[in-house]
Amino acid sequence: MEKRFLGNNKLEVSAIGLGCMGMSWSYGPAKDKNEMIALIRKAFEQGITFFDTAEVYGPLLNEELLGEAVQPFRDEVVIATKFGFKPLKDDPSNPRWGGIDSRPEHIKKVVEESLRRLRTERIDLYYQHRVDPNVPIEDVAGAVKDLITEGKVKHFGLSEAGVKNIRKAHNVQPVTALQSEYSMFYRDPEKEILPLLEELGIALVPFSPLGKGFLTGKINTDTKFDSTDFRSTVPRFEQDNLKANMAIVDFIESIAGQKEVTPAQVALGWLLAQKPWIAPIPGTTKLERLEENIAGASVNFTQDELQSINDQLSKIQIHGNRYSPAQEKMVDK
């Protein structure tokens, strides 16, 4: 698989990574541990070297899963994880958290716990999961800078951070990557975020590059989400909005037909074509979807095709917010 470099520090990763969250949390009940370990190892065999997790996924269980899965080839892959939430440790099966906490002393405590769960001596890319309004971003960057000096972390990242805080953090400790939502279904980062990242030499790692599964064409207006699936709380997936948003799926399917690929491969190929420093992390729990996503790295577009696609996308109105009201409050503007 094609390799890409994240940030000015040139962290090398596979062009497409693997988001591991859904294996333990959020998209319905946790999947069989041994099956997910096998899937992660199959991903590595097929060229994926970039794996994404977080302490809050599970909570805590996803880091343990990934750590065990990649142990045989740990030095050949990049592990990204995140800090900044307070999981409800009294009940690890409860997929909720107890609030945001990015105090330096908290960061330096939880990094040790993440290192233990991941069975590693260093975290390759350590993201602040959400900006903490109660802690200056400069203090957060300073704490991670200390961890980098100590060798416990290699690169600093932010997630869902806004322009002002990205710049402030970068002035203290260079930010290697921003992880935020970006896809044909959500193009807001094009307005201010992408230009800033290009200016500062920061990479973008898009999560939900397939629109939380919507852009694959596998979701229709009759789809019902289980209460353990967070999409059941997302306004964008409410029935009326779902119906209205099918226009973008129809458009992507038309492109897929012309290219003789799948809608998911169109969505991933489109993302990769936007900038050479973008590396999406689609998640899956199925081998056939993994192989489909990997093949998306081979879908190419000419500049004329991209311009035409972007012009058409701009005419399609997306209905519904991408988060519940409570989650929206945690996105840095």
- Give residue 95's pLDDT band: very low, low, confident or very high (50, 70, 90): very low
- Give residue 96's pLDDT band: very low, low, confident or very high (50, 70, 90): low
Predicted confidence at residue 326, as pLDDT, reads 80
For residues 14-18, average pLDDT: 98
Q: Indicate whether 29 pLDDT > 50.
A: yes
- Give residue 227's pLDDT band: very low, low, confident or very high (50, 70, 90): confident
Amino acid symbol at 179 = Q
Answer yes or no: is 311 within a domain. Answer: no
Q: Indicate whether 225 pLDDT > 80.
A: yes
Predicted confidence at residue 28, as pLDDT, reads 85
Predicted confidence at residue 331, as pLDDT, reads 87
Answer yes or no: is 178 within a domain. Answer: yes
pLDDT digits (tens, 9 = 90+) for 137-154: 999 999 999 999 999 999
Answer yes or no: is 82 within a domain. Answer: yes
Answer yes or no: is 15 within a domain. Answer: yes
Predicted confidence at residue 91, as pLDDT, reads 52
Q: What is the CATH number of the domain that holds 116?
A: 3.20.20.100
Confidence (pTM) = 0.95
For residues 169-176, average pLDDT: 98
Residues recognised as catalytic: 57
Q: How many domains does the chain have?
A: 1
Range of the domain at 89: 3-210+275-299
Answer yes or no: is 18 within a domain. Answer: yes
Predicted confidence at residue 327, as pLDDT, reads 83
Answer yes or no: is 309 within a domain. Answer: no
Mean pLDDT of the chain: 94
Answer yes or no: is 320 within a domain. Answer: no
Answer yes or no: is 327 within a domain. Answer: no
Q: 2-11, 210-219, 227-236: which has the minimum mean pLDDT?
A: 227-236
